[in-house]
Amino acid sequence: MVGASELPFRLLCRKYGATIAYTPMISSARFCLPAEHAYREEQFQTNATDRPLVAHFSANKPNEMAAAAKLVESRCDAIDLNLGCPQRVAYVGHYGSYLLDDVDRELVLSIVSETVKAVSIPVFVKIRLLDTVEKTITLVTQLKDAGASLVAIHARHRASFERTGAGARDGPAMLDQVKVIKQKFPMFPIIANGNIITFDDCKANLELTGADGVMSAEGILNNPALFVDAISDPAERSKLKAFASDKVNLALEYLDLLEDHPATMRTVAFHTRRMLKEPLTEYQLIDDVINAITVEEVRSLVLKCRQYQQDPSLFKFDTEKAAKVKEALEKKKHEEGKRKRYEDRMKRKAKREGKPLDHYLNIGAELPSLKTVSSLMALTKEKQLAIWNASHGQHCMVYHLSPSGCPRGRSCAFLHCDIGASSELVAADEVAG
């Protein structure tokens, strides 16, 4: 996932039955830089109980992926190359699912083979479905031959400007294709990902696909105890299942884990509102969680949620607050939709002109380098704009050149992409596979 599988959340999921966990997606380009010690410390956190652990990297250069893998080799059990991320930042940075085109196949296989040579632990690859099941089978064959020890398949298609419906980025997962692929590789580990919200979904997935395991992202964010029924000890399973039936317990347990393993407040709010979306919404507390400044403030809101659940008479619906929240939400949606509306206009223009849909979105999409940003600092505003618009016009110049960043934040119509492809949660708080 992107930004959402940090150490405290992994520990919570492991307690409730998850048998293996991945780190958030980490930029190998940034992780391997000698000067990025703080980034490494922030992005790769673990402890003795956090095993087996897979270090999950984005990459588009073999040497960077191999170097990043070497840095964590002694502290994890496998390395994973992300070829599944569908987000816009992956498109701009040319990684994730945007490396699945045929033109990048040699590069991808080189990344895998060089990483395999560099480390003594297994190398995994996370992919999405290609346009046909035959093409996906060919890809898995090539990854296996390049040295990959396991392939996890997100059973939706790679990102596309044209695709909608089943198998699209947000459509139903096409697990029937994973079944066909697994039948071609009976002795090679295949993990199935998609359509897993409950433990019954896990069982149905395995029964249908014949895969060697299942992976969950969206489902486990909503319920960190998703895999509790997989715990073998009946007494332990029964005890934990009863405790986790109240998601307030899970949220409080997550907050307790933060005492020893801190996370950013944005991450804390993200997990809390995913676990408790229904009651927080019902009791008009979700915005309070999002705007909370401390973990203790979030804890008090979670406890208030429990209080209202236990005695509904204590909750009084605030019509004025509801109106303000509705107005703020509508404004937020409009502001944050600027980029989407711009992209839609550019796609329509390209379509009218018979060009590829991403034609205009590729103009100025090049991410500036640290060297470019540094050199621009000494120039006048006019010269900065001229150079910026020539190569980086899709990106927000203020975001990169101003010490305080862009004041428009998530409402800015330009791209806010960190150099080195940071793995922080993106604007829409999406998770990536």
Render pLDDT for 17-50 as a digit per residue (tens, 0 to 9): 999 999 999 999 999 999 999 999 999 999 999 9
CB 14 within 8 A of CB 411: no
Hey, what domains does the chain have and what are their CATH numbers? 7-240 (3.20.20.70), 246-315 (no CATH)
Place of tokens 């150099």: 419
How far apart are the C-alpha atoms of 373 and 182, rounded to whole Å?
Answer: 47
Helix (H) or strand (E) segment spanning residue 127: strand 123-129
Which region, left, alpha or beta, applies to residue 82 given φ > 0 means left and ψ of -120 to 50 means alpha? beta
Give CA–CA dist 179/207, Å, rounded. Answer: 9
Per-residue pLDDT, 403: 87
pTM (2 d.p.):
0.86
Alpha-carbon dihedral sign for residues 349, 354, 360, 362: positive
Predicted pLDDT at 423: 41
Phi, psi of 20 (to 5 degrees): -150, 145
Angle at 128 between CA 130 and CA 341, to 5 degrees: 90
pLDDT, tens digit, 9 for 90 and up, residues 227-255: 999 999 999 999 999 999 999 999 999 99
Among residues 13, 32, 76, 85, the one annotated as catalytic is 85
Give the pLDDT of residue 162: 53
Three-state DSSP state, 214: strand
Cβ–Cβ < 8 Å for 24, 56: yes
- 76 catalytic? Reply is no
What's the rounded Cα separation, in Å, for the pair 71 and 119? 10
Tokens read off for 222: 């909503």
248, 306 contact by CB (below 8 A): yes
Residues of the chain predicted below pLDDT 70: 159-170, 420-433
Rounded to the nearest integer, the mean pLDDT of the chain is 92
